[in-house]
């Protein structure tokens, strides 16, 4: 909770710093706090949802996972339909109209993790057999494919998070290696289909060779990071954010942090993500039941994989992906879904439990889900401990 609040505070400061000057210049004296106000509004919505889910959310998760997944798949499919999906900056990733737009891929990412956790908890032996894993893999590939058609970065986060979840579930490494090889081939094919993706893939190797076109954003990000030094130019003193670096308040906000706060600021930010990773894995280790353990591991992996992919992108270690920095970058749907994920993590940490078990003799088809919730108060909140949940 402390790390999350610190990241939200840092996000509000840096979104304002990265967007205010450019907004004023572009609008000839417009409101420099426009993005800050929106960020705070979305953060408040997400914070309320996080609080509600941390108290009551886990007991509904297993019941509504399948309907949620179906709705998210339909919404993501609608994004691909011309005239329905909203195009912003050349990418069609949104639904809605005007200020009421949202990104279905962020909802689908959350729903796929929930679905994978449910399947792995009900049928733990499927990780040991590729044949039994086919139903889960088919749904995951379909969902990731829908997202990858317009948003390869979010699709990669989904794939990495699901692979981490399979590791937590005990999948043999030889199967994971095969999945990774197949995934690499798919990414290469998708890059070859879309010319702009191929440009990103090739320009990443040497962005300075085409610094005015395909390598422009990567080059400006590296200049911003390099000019910050150890302690930075000072908060609000970035030059790159005004005239040179595109999407400074979203995908490349880490470069502005590096320019204004230096290596020290970036290190503190990464330390906060490290705290979330440590706390999430400890929650997974101490959770009651396979479902709680896997859900904590899956949600933690989803957050950390996104943070790592954005960091590697800004540092020039991987091609541009368009993935926002968790809790820091401006992005309504992403921020709200991340806070909802933190609410589930806190619910598990406070003793929430969902028992998901297969009926005798139903390892391959019939399943039964039995959900009970423990007292939501922390350990030791009642004398004599909590009443044990029965499965």
- Report DSSP letters for 225-248, one per residue: HHHHTTT-S-TT--SHHHHT-TTT
Q: What is the pLDDT of residues 238-259, one digit of tens each?
A: 999 887 888 899 999 999 999 9
Kindly state the tokens that stand for 52.
């509600």
pLDDT at 313 over 80: yes
| Structure tokens given for 68 | 């949620």
pTM of the model: 0.86
> What average pLDDT does this structure show over 271-283?
96
Residue 386, pLDDT > 90, answer: no
End-to-end CA distance of the chain: 30
Q: Which residues 6+ apart lie within 8 Å of 306 measured at CB?
A: 157, 323, 324, 325, 326
Cβ 7 vs Cβ 272: under 8 Å:
yes
Cα–Cα dist 154/148, whole Å: 7
pLDDT at 203: 74
pLDDT band at 357 (very low <50, low <70, confident <90, very high): low
65-68, Cβ contacts within 8 angstroms, sequence gap of 24 or more = 65/111, 65/114, 65/115, 65/118, 66/115, 66/118, 68/107, 68/111, 68/114
The residue with tokens 């954005």 is 310
Mean pLDDT estimate for the chain: 84
176 pLDDT exceeds 50? Answer: yes
Give the integer Cα–Cα distance in Å for 168 and 162: 10
> Residue 322 carries which DSSP code?
-
Tokens of 258: 């590096």
Place of tokens 């921020």: 335
State the pLDDT at residue 152. Answer: 84
Residue 140 pLDDT > 50, yes or no? yes
- Distance between CA 182 and CA 205 in Å, rounded? 22
Q: Tokens at residue 181, please? A: 């090889």
> Which 3 state secondary structure label does DSSP give 102?
strand
């Amino acid at each position: 909770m402390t790390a999350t609040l610190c990241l939200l505070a840092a996000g509000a400061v840096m979104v304002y710093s990265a967007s205010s000057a450019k907004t004023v210049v572009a609008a000839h004296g417009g409101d420099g706090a426009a993005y800050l106000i929106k960020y705070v509004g979305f953060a408040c919505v997400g914070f309320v949802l996080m609080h509600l889910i941390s108290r009551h959310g886990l007991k509904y998760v297993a019941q509504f996972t399948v309907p949620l997944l179906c709705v998210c798949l339909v919404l993501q499919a609608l994004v691909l339909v011309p005239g329905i999906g909203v195009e912003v900056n050349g990418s069609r990733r949104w639904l809605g109209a005007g200020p009421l737009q949202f990104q279905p891929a962020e909802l689908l990412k959350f729903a796929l993790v929930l679905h994978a956790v449910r399947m792995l908890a009900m049928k733990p032996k499927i990780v040991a057999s590729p044949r039994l894993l086919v139903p889960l893999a088919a749904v995951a590939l379909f969902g990731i494919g829908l997202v990858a058609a317009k948003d390869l970065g979010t699709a990669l986060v989904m794939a990495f998070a699901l692979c981490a979840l399979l590791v937590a579930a005990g999948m043999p490494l030889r199967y994971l290696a095969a999945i990774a090889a197949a995934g690499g081939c798919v990414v290469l094919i998708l890059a070859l289909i879309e010319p702009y993706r191929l440009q990103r893939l090739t320009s990443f190797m040497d962005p300075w060779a085409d610094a005015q076109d395909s390598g422009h954003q990567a080059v400006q990000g590296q200049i911003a990071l390099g000019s910050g030094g150890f302690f930075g130019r000072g908060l609000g003193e970035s030059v790159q954010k005004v005239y040179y670096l595109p999407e400074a308040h979203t995908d490349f906000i880490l470069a502005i942090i590096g320019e204004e706060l230096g290596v020290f600021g970036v290190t503190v930010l990464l330390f906060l993500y490290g705290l979330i990773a440590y706390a999430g894995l400890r929650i997974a280790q101490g959770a009651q039941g396979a479902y709680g353990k896997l859900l904590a591991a899956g949600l933690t992996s989803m957050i950390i994989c996104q943070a790592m992919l954005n960091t590697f992108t800004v540092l020039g270690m991987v091609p541009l992906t368009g993935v926002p920095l968790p809790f820091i970058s401006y992005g309504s749907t992403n921020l709200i879904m991340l806070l909802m994920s933190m609410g589930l993590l806190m619910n598990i940490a406070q003793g929430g439990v969902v028992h998901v078990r297969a009926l005798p003799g139903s390892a391959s088809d019939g399943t039964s889900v039995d959900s009970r919730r423990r007292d939501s108060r922390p350990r030791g909140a009642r004398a004599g401990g909590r009443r044990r949940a029965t499965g």
